[in-house]
DNA sequence: TTTT
DNA sequence: TTTT
């Protein structure tokens, strides 16, 4: 019904930019969000939260954000379930960003990422080695199904 | 830095009420939050999100909420890491509720759960069998450390 | 940079549906949002917050919401400034809803308002008497300027 | 029922720190929050939103925030009504901050403002001239009523 | 009344 | 697996 998440934190690493079979850009990164235990002193705890960004925003994020940068994310919490190599169900939580704001640097370059231009469907998209990470996006929410012919597991970028 | 989550959804089951060794009440339940793919029609997808509530609110939630009830949760997203039986690191995402609102029923009974009375430290607390669920709270954020002497794994309510 | 508001409350009256000169639908209503003073007992205070909804959502809201209904609003806080009859600058705060959820009634009819169909540009739009309320929308954010020729103050629906 | 506002923006001026009759600190400032009209280019619009902070946070804000600084506010939207000099009802919208984060400067000084120490009831509190601004807080939500004897309009700091 |  |  309603699902809204707002976070501010720092990137633990450079964002990773990938493309689905149908050519949609997806960027992902982890945000280190410091917790503050009210009352008790001296304690510093951190939540490491996975963020996913789609389409034009993905490319802007990949271009302007790096490890250590401070960013604000406004999106929704999503729980994905998949089967790992051992055939066990694994649940992954991530925040699907609707907008990402860059909070660190100078005034105008890439300060925001919403409602921008861009959007050229990329050719020559990179084909990274399959990592041991979960197969993130078997379903591309932005794919135009009619023209995505041959989606095979092996073609997925994750 | 900033970590805010707001959800509306329905309980997938009755909340479970437990107590830490130091006597702090903890309630947990899962919220089914319907997603709505903008643009595409007919699709209904659901995120199942784990919620945790502490102290007085835990007891109010356990008393007034049941499976199927509609509720609003305002809290923060937390990622916990623990080692499972096989010795693997497992990451669990959950929303730690600051407030829970009951949206279904009549006007005044248990309509809200913030800043209420209650709070009697419970005697005869139930000792449920250990489920296969993750050992949720090795660290009780509300424990007064000075008087919690013998925390052993076997005493944990999860 | 970031501007996010989430509210749950009850409508103080039926929503009002209007149309701008360029034919864009706008619905407005007031949400009574109960406050709860933490700590102190027995006090009930209420914030009356003006909500504005545009386009297809405006028509859905006007069709399904009535006085007394419980609703959740997700949007952004906007401060508009205008000159009143006495020539004084007046500031009006309102929440521009991105989505409105209906929380009261049955399961499926009009339960949500995002990404729906509708959208037929209405003919025979009502021309309500000008109230003493502020001239709400001299700027229609959805107007296609090129085809809106003769916007005069007298044609505004507010 | 639920009332949550999250904002990121820049201070239009230094915060003003005042004290109620009962000695509670209150800081107020205005946040300039840039809007971004999705789709249309080149337009930059700004909402000027009044923020109010109470107690220890008020003093931290007054100490560390200045005009032009970037800050994140997490709080609730409140509508106050009062009668102005001409005897007209005036409505004022403001965000009562629960937490304020400082986003501009260096790593550790005053980076956050929640759950901090401080809290010494201030002596020699300043008695600013009454401005033409609205009489902000006839009701001090943190006052211990039993010991606040003689609240008169003239003693209010606003 | 307004910030970069 | 983690950021300042």
pLDDT digits (tens, 9 = 90+) for D10-56: 999 999 999 999 999 999 999 999 997 554 555 689 999 999 999 99
- Asked if A70 reaches chain C (Cβ–Cβ under 8 Å), the answer is no
The CATH number of C5-155 is 2.40.50.140
Give the closest residue to F1 (Cα–C1′).
Answer: A12
Pairwise CB contact (< 8 Å): C1 & A99: no
- Please give the structure tokens belonging to residue A150: 């041959």
Check: CB of residue D26 under 8 Å from CB of residue D138.
Answer: no
Note the CA–C1' distance, A2 to E1, in angstroms.
37
| DSSP-derived 3-state class of residue A133 | coil
Average pLDDT, chain D: 76
| pLDDT computed for residue C133 by the predictor | 53
Q: How far is CA B86 from CA A142, B90, B132, in A?
A: 38, 10, 12
| pLDDT computed for residue B13 by the predictor | 98
pLDDT mean over B2-9: 98
- Residue by residue, DSSP assigns chain B as -EEEEEEEEEESS--EEEE-TT--EEEEEEEEEEE--SSS-S--EEEEEEEEEEHHHHHHHHHH--TT-EEEEEEEEEEEEEE-TTS-EEEEEEEEEEEEEE-SS-SSTTSB-TT-S--PPPSS---PPP-SS----SS-TT--GGG-----GGGS--
Q: How confident is the model at residue B131 (pLDDT cuts 50, 70, 90)?
A: very low
Which of strand E's nucleotides are less than 7 A from any protein C-beta? 1-4
Domain boundaries, chain D: 5-155
Is the confidence at residue D87, as pLDDT, over 60?
Answer: yes
Q: How confident is the model at residue A135 (pLDDT cuts 50, 70, 90)?
A: low
Considering only residues 132-151 of protein chain A, which place a Cβ less than 7 A from any atom of strand F? 133
- Asked if C4 reaches chain A (Cβ–Cβ under 8 Å), the answer is yes
Tell me the chain B residues in contact with residue A77 when contact means C-beta distances shorter than 8 Å.
5, 7, 47, 49, 77, 93, 95
Give the closest residue to F4 (Cα–C1′).
Answer: D107
- Asked if B133 reaches chain A (Cβ–Cβ under 8 Å), the answer is no
Q: Which helix (H) or strand (E) holds A58?
A: helix A55-64
Q: Which nucleotide is nearest to A108 (CA to C1')?
A: E4
Check: CB of residue A31 under 8 Å from CB of residue A7.
Answer: yes
- Asked if B72 reaches chain C (Cβ–Cβ under 8 Å), the answer is yes
Which of A12-16, B24-28, B140-144 has the least mean pLDDT? B140-144
Note the CA–C1' distance, A74 to F3, in angstroms.
19
Query: What is the length of chain A?
Result: 158
Give the closest residue to E1 (Cα–C1′).
Answer: D12
pLDDT mean over C38-59: 85
Tell me the chain D residues in contact with residue C1 when contact means C-beta distances shorter than 8 Å.
8-9, 33-34, 70
Is the confidence at residue B84, as pLDDT, over 60?
Answer: yes
pLDDT mean over D70-81: 96
**Cβ contact A30 with chain F strand, < 7 A:** yes
Q: Which helix (H) or strand (E) holds C63?
A: helix C55-64
Q: How confident is the model at residue D139 (pLDDT cuts 50, 70, 90)?
A: low
pLDDT mean over A122-126: 39
Note the CA–C1' distance, C132 to E1, in angstroms.
26
* Contacts across the A-B interface (CB distance below 8 Å): 76
pLDDT mean over D57-78: 97
Q: Which nucleotide is nearest to A50 (CA to C1')?
A: F2
| CA–CA separation, D127 and A117 (whole Å) | 52
| CA–CA separation, C101 and B6 (whole Å) | 13
From C60, A150, B6, A107, select the one nearest D68 (Cα to Cα).
Answer: A107
Note the CA–C1' distance, D34 to E3, in angstroms.
9
For C83-97, letters b (16+ CB in 10 Å) and e give eeeeeeeeebbbbbb
Is the confidence at residue B100, as pLDDT, over 70?
Answer: yes
* pLDDT tens-place string over residues C99-138: 999 998 754 444 444 433 333 334 344 444 444 455 556 5
Average pLDDT, chain A: 76
- Please give the structure tokens belonging to residue C26: 């706008």
Residues in reach of strand E, judged by a CB distance below 7 angstroms, are A 107; C 81, 89, 91; D 9-13, 30, 32, 34, 44, 46, 48, 67-68, 133
Give the closest residue to F2 (Cα–C1′).
Answer: A12
Q: What is the CA radius of gyration of chain B?
A: 17
């Amino acid at each position: 019904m309603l699902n809204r998440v707002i976070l501010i934190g720092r990137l633990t690493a450079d964002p990773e930019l990938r493309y689905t079979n149908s050519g949609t850009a997806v960027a992902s990164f982890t945000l280190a969000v410091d917790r503050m235990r009210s009352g008790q002193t001296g304690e510093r705890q951190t939540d490491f939260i996975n963020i996913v960004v789609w389409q034009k925003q993905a490319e802007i994020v990949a271009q302007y954000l790096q490890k250590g940068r401070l960013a604000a994310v406004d999106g929704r919490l999503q729980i994905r379930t998949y089967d790992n190599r051992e055939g066990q169900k694994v649940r992954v939580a991530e925040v699907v960003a609707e907008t990402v704001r860059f909070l660190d640097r100078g005034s105008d370059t890439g300060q925001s990422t919403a409602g921008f231009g861009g959007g050229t469907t990329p050719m020559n998209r990179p084909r990274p080695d399959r990592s041991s990470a979960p197969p993130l996006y078997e379903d591309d929410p932005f794919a135009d199904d009619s023209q995505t012919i041959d989606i095979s597991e092996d073609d997925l970028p994750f």
